[in-house]
Each structure stands twice: as structure tokens, then as C-alpha cells.
Structure 1
Amino acid sequence: MTHYGILCLGGTGHLNTMLPLGAELQRRGHSITVFSDARAERRTIEAGFNFRAIGSAEVDPDRAKVTGLRALFQGIDLFRARVIDSLREAPVAIQQAGIEALLVDMSAFEGGAIADSVQVPFITVCSSLMLYQDNDIPPTLTTWSYNPIWYFRLRNWLAYKLLWLLSRPVWSAIADYRKQCQLPPYSTYNDCFSKLATISHQVAEIEFPRRKLPPNFHFTGPFHSSIGRSKVDFPFEQLNSLPLIYVSLGTSRNRIKDLFSLIAEACATLDVQLVIALGGGLEPEEVSQLPGNPIVVKYAPQLELLKRASLCITHAGLNTVLESLNNAVPLVAIPLADDQLGVAARIAWSGAGELLSLSNLDVSKLRNTVQKVLNQKDYKRHAVRLQSAIHHSGGVKYAADIIEEVITQTKMQATLDLTRTL
């Protein structure tokens, strides 16, 4: 059996992917230790894993109100600070814990350097939208759709170059660490991901056509699970027979009161029932006068509500999107920041929903879009198609199979190499 370390960000979306994967490996007899910031401690321990705190858990509450380019620049600053903390603290913690193999959150760009420095094999796990750079594919931080024409590919290349320049403070910290540890420098962005295996909990059917993925890249499908999620009370008795619209803006950009109000007003005159999950950013009392008398809760049992939903209005966080499609629920995506932009573009491209830009959103536009997605059968048909793809993808068990096979082969090769040197 193997002692796996999970190196991941402490946000809800990351834990909702990494913890179920850890649970499946633990069920097979392996040991699990999670390395993340203190936000992840409670959920990690509740899931039955060991936990080691890495870096600071302090989060500016105003960050939940920030969107667009401002969110990008703020995110780069936060990532640089987190990466520096992780590079300083994680190697020692990993060695002290006796970790034999690492599962690295794809968003933890420093993870490969850390694994190399402590000479531990690692596998990359995409807990958000896959970040593998390919000039045929628009960057994940845009809402651009896929188009193979050469000038769109040139646009993509220029955008990747710009993002590389903007994020140079992050990559410089990693480059300095690799130099300090006498490790070869990264020559491309993709070098920071595992050469053994990269696992994405997407399904290929909701990804743009990619021709340049390495052979060790695997689409496994999502890891839907209640593991690591707190049980929350919900007034199920208040649900009626009207079509249910479930609203979630996630847990990181969830203090935009005006957006919740706009959504409620857009749905107030429709023959539907609206359920709004605030994601912990606001208290229900702070939005108590919303039009149409929707059910508003601080947290919601999302997996259960999506089984009843006819439509999901979402910030386009990948977990919420995949959980919706797992239940064949079409979507209206209003991306706020980060890879939500790219996820929303893929929703529209797949035919399972519509993308609306926050910058020019109004009540009339949202109401018309909600009616369109509810009433036109093509959206549901595509959602059912993607549901079928998810159900046949293998999910967390397939991902664990890949991990076990790769790490077993790596251990055997290391033993063989050692034997040859003796």
C-alpha cells in the first residue's frame, strides 16, 4: 500500500474534487495526508484523512465581490504569496509525513517542483478546468469559443503570451526554487504538470477539440460525492410542483448582492420556483427582500436539489456545472472570474446552456435567456447527452485505477534501477 499526499488549494471547488479521490484510494487500503491551507482542515479531518497546514488561510472578504480583470490581477498576487509559502513549507512537511507519491492539484503550479525536490513521483489532478496550454484552444480565462481558423489560433497564442507575462511573479518564484534545488528549468508552461499522468474530472464531450494532449492525459469524468461536505438543513417542505430553478454563484465570488437581486427579479414573473444558495458569503437576512419570494439559504444540499431542478443559474464553477449535467440539468452561466469564463464558453459550445456576460446583464436579457433554455428542447437534449457521457466515464474509480497503476509501475521501475546499480 502507498502513502499518498494530496497537495491542493483550500477552496471548496478544489476539495470537492480531491477529497473524494482520496477517499477512494483510502477505501482501497492506501493512506492519505492532505497538504493545504487551514481552510481545508475541518473538511479533511471529517473525511478521515491526516492533515498538514501549508501557508496562510487568510482571505480578504472583499475578494468575494471582485470580478473581471481586477480579479485576475488580485489572483496573481494571491497565487504568488501562496506559491512562496508552499515552496518553503511543503517539502519539509512531505518528507516528515513519509509521503511516497503526490497527487498535485493542477492549480498548485509549484507542486511538480516540490515533488521533484523531494524525489517523490507525482500525478497531476485537474480540480478546475484543465489548464493544459494548447494554441488551438482559447485560454481558460476567456469566454472565447473554439474556432480552428488561423487568426483565432494567433489570437489564442497572443493571449497565452500575455497571461505568461502577467503571471511572471508566480513563475519566477518557481524558477528560483528549481534553480536553488539544482533542478532543470521549465521551458514551457506545460512542463509543470506530471509526466506520469494527468487526470481531468471533465469528460471529453464538454471540452473543446484538443489534438495535442499527451498520451498520459486522461478524462475520467467527475468525482461527485458527499464526502467532505457538511450536512445542511433545507426546507424541503417548501418545494412545490413548479419547475425548480437552482441558483448558485459558488463560494469564492458570492457577495454580489445586486446579482442575486437581478436573478430573483428576472425569475419573479415566470411560472417557476427559485432556490438561491448564497454559498456562505452573505446571510439570508441580507437579501431578505428579493422579488418573487424565492427560497434563500446560506448553504444548500446541492447534490439533492439538482436531482429536482429544471435549470441551474450558475457562476460556471466546474463542479456545479458537472453536477448539474450529471442530472441532465441545462444551465445559464454568468461567469464572474478565473476559469469560470472558460467553463461558461464550453457550456455554450456544448449546447447544454447559454452564456451571459456580467458586464451587460440586465433583467430582461436574463429573463429571456431563462425562458429560452427552459422551453427549447435542444438544451435538455444536449444535457442528457452529456449526462450519458458522464455516466459512462468511470469517474473516481477510473481515476484511482490510473493512479494505482502508474505509481505501482513507477515503484517497480525504481526498484529495478536500484538493483542494476548494485
Structure 2
Amino acid sequence: MTEIAVVCPPYYSHLRLFEALAEELRGRGHGVHFIVNAGAAGMITAGGEGIFVHEVGRRSRHDLDRLITRAAGGGTPLSVLRTVRDAARLTEDLCREAPALCRDLRIGAMVGDQMEPAAGLIARHLGLPFVSVASALPVHDDPTVPLPFLGWPYDPSEAGLKRNRGGVTVAGLLLARQRKTIARWADEFDLPNLATLAGCLSTTCQISQLTWSFDFPREPSPIRHAVGPIRRRGRDEAAPAIRRDPGRPLVFASFGTLQGHRLRLFRRIARACERIGADCVVAHCGGLTEAEASTIGARHVTDFVPQRAMLAEADLCVTHAGMNTVLDALEAGTPMLAIPMAFDQPGVAARIVHHGVGERLTRGHLSTRSIATRLERLLGTSSFTDNASRIGRDIQGSGGAKLAGDIIERALAASGDFERPAGRDGHGPT
């Protein structure tokens, strides 16, 4: 049995993915140790024998909640700078305390989120076999692909490449605080010429929960693997308690756990649905009070619904283009109207448009009329559903957590320092 450390930022969607990986690896006989920033332990729901949670630093859960709220504030340059600063401080805490903890725990391998450079820094410092996992869009360098937080279309022409290089230059300015933190700890750990997030990725194994059919075209690489949605097993969803009118289209609107407070936007979406004769179901994910939710005017408003089951029932999804919601919608063959707000959502929305599985609206075009026009076009054009169903079949056939577990074990075993549990095909005791 190998003791494996998992390291990821304290965001719910990232933690849910790593919980799925933790349970998969534990089922194969490994010990799994979450190493997270102080305050994040209460956000982790995976547990039981063989899965452990360790906090580093001296932050409180209140500190993390404030950080997450700031990060959800939007994609303006000021908010990006603030989020980069906050993330750099979390990286500092991990780099300062996690190496000694890993030694004490006799950690034999590390699986890290691509968005947390501390994982790569610490793994290299300790000489640990290391796998990078992209909870969001992959961040590895590719000159033909715009950076994840940019909503630019795919354009491999010289003009597109020049534009992408300009995006990298601007990103370098916005991410200066992160680069400084990475460089400082790389120097501390005697890791020369390391100063970028991409440079902290694993050089042997990178896993994404995309499918190739939903990403932009990329140069093939033996170290990059697209496995589809990474979810916890054995968690079947009940059908949503909503009786749909067979004579009216059904639109599901959700902006995830970080953007569920967008009351005015939910109201516009509900009015747009009414204008085109569609029913609207809104899930605000706890972002609104009961009094606020009662003013939306949709057919059904709630905090949470069984999302995958809801999307299987819906004709359209209005989404912030969060990775998990988009993959769930595609799996159900449900077209989307994307309204990106922060993080990698502009890049995900660009892929929605590129593959013809939906349309996108930006912040300056969010009137009731513009939303209604887009919804009507999505409902009246069969190619959107056809394209979403085609990619959805790829997602349904993807390996998810099981395939990710196979790849992780193969990659770490190839390092020569990884102990794979005895048993059939190395997948735990028989």
C-alpha cells in the first residue's frame, strides 16, 4: 500500500473531484491523505478508513469563505488580481508546512490540482512521483489554444497565434504575484528555472475531466489524458420532483455554488422563458434567501435539485459555464446558453460555441429580450441538440474516476518508487 497525498484549492467543485479520486484510490488499497489549507477540512465529505484530512496554516473557515466570496466576484482585472493574491497566500501556507507533514506521514506519491502550484513544488522538492489533475480547463502550454480564462475562439492562424501570445503577456502581468511566489519557493526548494503554473505541472502524467471531443484541437501528447467527468461512485440521483407540462419547453437555470446569488439575472431568465412560452426551473444553490427566491417568478425555484436528473429532463440549460454543469448537460444531450462570469468559464463557453452545443451571452447583453432571443434560437435549431448528444455519448462512454485511477497507478508505478497493492491487475486485493 502506498500513502498518497492529494492537494487542491479549497473550492467545492475541486474538492468534490478529489473526493472521487480519493475513494477510487482507497478502493484499490492505497492510503489517501488530503493536505489542505486550514479551514478546509469541514468542506470535505469523503472519509472512512484509509482517507485522512490534514490542515496546514492558521486560517479559519471564515477566512476561506471570504476568499471564496471574493473569487466569485467576477472576471474584472481588479478581481483577478485579488484572487491571484489570495491564492498565492494559500500556496505559501502549503509550501511552508506540507513538506514536513509529508515526511511524517511517509507519503510515497502525490496527486495535485493543476491550479495549486504547491503540489508540483512540494512533489519535486521531496522527489515524489506526481500526477497533475485538471478540475477546470487544462492549463498546460499550447500556443494554438487561448488561456483558460479567455473567451477567445480557437484560431490556429498566424493572427490567432499572435493574439494568444498577447494573452500570455497580459496574463504574465496579472499573475505576477503567483509567479513571484512560485519562484521564491522554487529557490527555497532548490528547483532552478521554475516560475510559472504550467511549469509546476507533472512532466509525466496530466489528467483532465474533459473529453477530446469537447476540447479545442490540441497536439497529441503521451502524458495528457482526457477521462471525462470524475465523480464519486454509487450516488444515483432521484428524479426531480417537478411535473413538466408536455406542451411547454423546460429550461433549467443554475450558476453553481459560487454564483447562485445572481438574483436579477435569474429574474431576467424567468421573464425570458415566460416570453417564449417556456417553463423555468431555477436552482440557486443556497445563494439566495427564501424571500429573495420568491421574487424570481420562475415556475419552480429551489436551492438544489438532482442536477444530472434535472438536465436529462430539461430541453435547455442556462449556465455560468462551470465545468461540472457543462459536462452534466452534455452527458444528457442538453444544449446550453452560457453566461460566463469568472475563472475558466469564458474558456468553457468558447468551447460550447466552437462545438455548436449552445450559445453564449456576455455581461453587456443580458437583457430579457436578448436572453429570450437566444433561448428561442436554441429551442428551434435541432443541430444544437444533435451536437450535444454526440459529445454526450463520448462522455457516457468515458472512464471517469475508474480510468483516472488506472492512469494514476500506471504513471506512478512507472516512476519506480510507487508500491501498487497486490491483487488482480494491481487494483487492490482480490
Confirm or deny that 1:116 pairs with 2:124: yes
Confirm or deny that 1:353 pairs with 2:361: no
Query: Which secondary structure state, in structure 2, belongs to the residue aligned with residue 296 of structure 1?
Result: strand
Change (3 A) 1:401 1:195: same
Q: 1:372 & 1:20 partners in 2: Cα distance?
A: 37
Contact 2:108/2:417 (CA < 8 Å) preserved in 1? no
Change (3 A) 1:326 1:47: farther
- Tell me which residue corresponds to 1:220: 227
Where does structure 1 lack aligned partners over 5 or more consecutive residues? 415-422
Please give the residue correspondences for 1:6-405 in structure 2 after superposition, counting only pairs within 5 Å: 6-37=6-37, 40-42=40-42, 44-48=44-48, 49-55=51-57, 56=59, 57=61, 58=63, 59-60=65-66, 61=69, 63-186=71-194, 189-211=197-219, 214-225=221-232, 236-237=241-242, 239-241=244-246, 242-291=248-297, 293-405=298-410
Q: 1:281 & 1:22 partners in 2: Cα distance?
A: 28
C-alpha deviation, 1:140, in angstroms: 1.2
Query: Which secondary structure state, in structure 2, belongs to the residue aligned with residue 354 of structure 1?
Result: strand
Query: Which secondary structure state, in structure 2, belongs to the residue aligned with residue 380 of structure 1?
Result: helix
Aligned residues: 411
C-alpha deviation, 1:238, in angstroms: 5.1
Change (3 A) 1:286 1:93: farther
Contact 2:205/2:223 (CA < 8 Å) preserved in 1? yes
Change (3 A) 1:138 1:67: closer
C-alpha deviation, 1:154, in angstroms: 0.6
TM-score, normalization by structure 1: 0.90
Contact 1:306/1:323 (CA < 8 Å) preserved in 2? yes
RMSD: 2.4
Deviations 1:89-147 (A, max 9, x none): 22222222222111100111221111112222110000011111212111111110001
Query: Which secondary structure state, in structure 1, belongs to the residue aligned with residue 285 of structure 2?
Result: coil
Contact 1:246/1:312 (CA < 8 Å) preserved in 2? yes
C-alpha deviation, 1:263, in angstroms: 1.3
Contact 1:138/1:144 (CA < 8 Å) preserved in 2? yes
2:302 aligned partner, one-letter code: V
Q: 1:391 & 1:182 partners in 2: Cα distance?
A: 44
C-alpha deviation, 1:202, in angstroms: 0.3
C-alpha deviation, 1:375, in angstroms: 1.9
2:217 aligned partner, one-letter code: P
Contact 2:37/2:93 (CA < 8 Å) preserved in 1? no
Contact 2:308/2:332 (CA < 8 Å) preserved in 1? no
C-alpha deviation, 1:300, in angstroms: 2.4
Where does structure 2 lack aligned partners over 5 or more consecutive residues? 420-430
Q: 2:304 & 2:242 partners in 1: Cα distance?
A: 17
Query: Which secondary structure state, in structure 2, belongs to the residue aligned with residue 307 of structure 1?
Result: helix
Contact 1:274/1:294 (CA < 8 Å) preserved in 2? yes
Contact 1:133/1:189 (CA < 8 Å) preserved in 2? no
C-alpha deviation, 1:271, in angstroms: 3.0
Deviations 1:143-186 (A, max 9, x none): 10001110111110111121012211111111111111222222
1:142 aligned partner, one-letter code: L
TM-score, normalization by structure 2: 0.89
Q: 1:228 & 1:105 partners in 2: Cα distance?
A: 23
Q: 2:374 & 2:404 partners in 1: Cα distance?
A: 36
Q: 2:251 & 2:121 partners in 1: Cα distance?
A: 44
C-alpha deviation, 1:65, in angstroms: 4.2
Q: Which has the larger displacement, 120-129 or 17-26?
A: 17-26
Query: Which secondary structure state, in structure 1, belongs to the residue aligned with residue 34 of structure 2?
Result: strand
Change (3 A) 1:71 1:239: farther
Change (3 A) 1:284 1:244: farther
Q: 1:159 & 1:202 partners in 2: Cα distance?
A: 23
